[in-house]
Amino acid sequence: MNIGEIKKVEVGGIEFFVKYSNRAFAVYMNSLTKEPDSYDAKIQYFYDLSKTGAKAKGLQFNYTFEEFAEIIDPDPNAVISFYNAASSFFGEAGDEKKPKKSSK
C-alpha cells in the first residue's frame, strides 16, 4: 500500500497532485452505495484527492468543484489518469511480498 505517496496527474496542461485521504475515500464509498455509477461521485473523489495532494505539497488549490470539472471535462483521458493515480495507492492484488518460510 502506498497511501503516503503524492501522484502527479496532468490534465489540459495543468498539473494536479493527488494524495490518498481516508475522508475522501469514505465519502466516495458512501456515495457509491447510493448511486453506484455516479460520474459526479468519481469527479468529487478526484477533486478531494487533488485538494489533499496540493495541501501535502504546500501548494494553493484555488479551484471550485465546478472549475475543476470544467478543466477535466474536455480531456477524454482525464478520468482514466485520475483513476490510475488513485488506484495506485492500493497497489495491485498480490503486490505485497509474501513472508519467507522458515528453514527450520
Amino acid found at 43: I
In a domain, 104, yes or no: no
In a domain, 62, yes or no: yes
In a domain, 103, yes or no: no
**Matching residue, cell 528453514:** 103
Q: What is the pLDDT of residues 28-75, one digit of tens each?
A: 888 888 887 788 888 999 999 999 999 999 999 999 999 999 999 989
Supply the mean pLDDT for the chain.
Answer: 84
Distances (CA, A) of 37 to 40, 83, 103: 9, 14, 49
Q: How many domains does the chain have?
A: 1
Interatomic CA distance for residues 74 and 66, integer angstroms: 13
Q: What is the pTM of this model?
A: 0.77
In a domain, 101, yes or no: no
In a domain, 46, yes or no: yes
